[in-house]
Structure 1
Amino acid sequence: MRRTTITPRLAGIATILAATLALAGCGSPKPAAGPNVNAVDAALLGNDADPALTAALRDQIMVDPMLVQQANDDAVRPPTMPAAGAVPPDGIAQAAMPKDPLAGQTLRSAPAPTADCPQCAIARRALTLGALAQGQGGATGQCAARVGYSAIWATRLPDSIPLIADARVIEAAGADGEGCRLRIVTFASAQPMQRLLDYYYTRATAAGFRAGHQAQGAEHVLAGTKPAGGAFLAIMRPHAGGGTEVDLMVDGG
């Protein structure tokens, strides 16, 4: 009887094949069960959920068509029009406007100007407020060497010759001590020139100054002195932005 002999090589192959079949029979483990999506939705939208959260999830997304038209979808090109901004009603805008600083005041009319205006030539030559003071000569000219520049001088004008309430100070200078009490302020006002002439003529004469009016072209000058000492000068010209620009000088007084 013939016996079948299994060689070592065949035995090795058979062992590997048996192990492979055994693993196939065991099968791979099943993945762990994940969260139930339906259960999560039910928890969020069910009876036990937060009412505010439920309403937010169920509400339709609101889109303002006017704002959508203003959106800039293309980051390279600018929008065709600027986004509309809120503009206050006319009543609010008018209420914010400054009131007339001379309303209710009784003003004396400034005298008619004379054609001769030496102060106009002095003002045109002066490049600084100190030079303007020096051009006046006398005690005022001597104090010009002590002039210092600061906006604080605009607050140190005498009560008799003050800045008008809507004045926008451009430059200010002054000097105190050693017989000097000099104030020089350049400012702009929205008031027309004639009203400013009348205003400062009224204030100057009420303070005891003897004031006169000179003019040359569009430039006008009010100037005066006090018998007991002191000088007053107001040089006026049209302001580039509208209204009037004034160089106001008070020495002593």
Structure 2
Amino acid sequence: MAEVVELVYYPVKGCAAVSTSSAVMRPAGLTHDRGFMVVSPEGVGRTQRRDPKLAVIRPEVGETAAGGERLTLRAPGTTALHVDVELTGERREVDMLGRPLRGIDQGQDAADWLSDVLGAPSRLVRVPPENGRVTDGLTPGTSRYADSSPVHLLSRATLEHLNARLAARGAEPLPMTRFRPNIVVDGWDAEPHAEDRARLLRIGDAELGFAKLAVRCAVTLVEQGSGSKAGPEPLRTLATYRRSPEGGVTFGAKFSVLRPGTLAVGDKVEVAAWSDGA
């Protein structure tokens, strides 16, 4: 049986990952996952598609002495920024990849720090506690500032298959970090892309329903350690065997949360339903 080998969340959309050994899966995904977003002064969300340097910003979510939420941001060559998170402020309109959403601005100190690191005027917003966003797909759900459904799952077998194809073309293998998954699964060794067919998953106390395949974009071209674009791979190779009829290429799968719960590295991944009835 397959098992969880990595759990990862991304407190600030587009910024560096935080790995954990256990986490609570909430209706909108792993706790703290994509709860914040960097935006332009006009409220347009920044992503690695156009701002790859987001990758070098390392966020950490903790608590204040009073029990509130505190976000710490670090980046090479800068002093760490500590933000006591504002949850009661005025809601403002923001745009995330063309979708109208709402956010709570986190103040001028955060804006100045991010503008300096990214070299472009920026502000930081937090998703409101009353977030009511509904995501689409085979299993609808909700998420914070994720592109679509809240949970991105990818298997090691799928990445190994891609890396074998890259090697055959004389290209270097790519790490899992290029694809920014939340859950990495090992044990589906006989079949790459088994996550494409999984329709109902039980992991720890949580239950996940398949929403859609993950359509890949230019973020996969960004070297996550340096925040620099690194060439045409993996999109060039994925285009030879993972083209979607709707356009683009797919790699990994997105899931919605049917039942919240706690999950951990080492938990078994039970597939309660496959798309072909297997």
Output the TM-score relative to the length of structure 2: 0.21
- For CA contacts below 8 A with separation 6 or more, give which structure has more relative contact order: 2
User: Greater share of helix residues, 1 or 2?
Assistant: 1
Q: Is the strand fraction higher in 1 or 2? A: 2
TM-score, normalised via structure 1 length:
0.23
State the structure with more CA Rg. Answer: 1
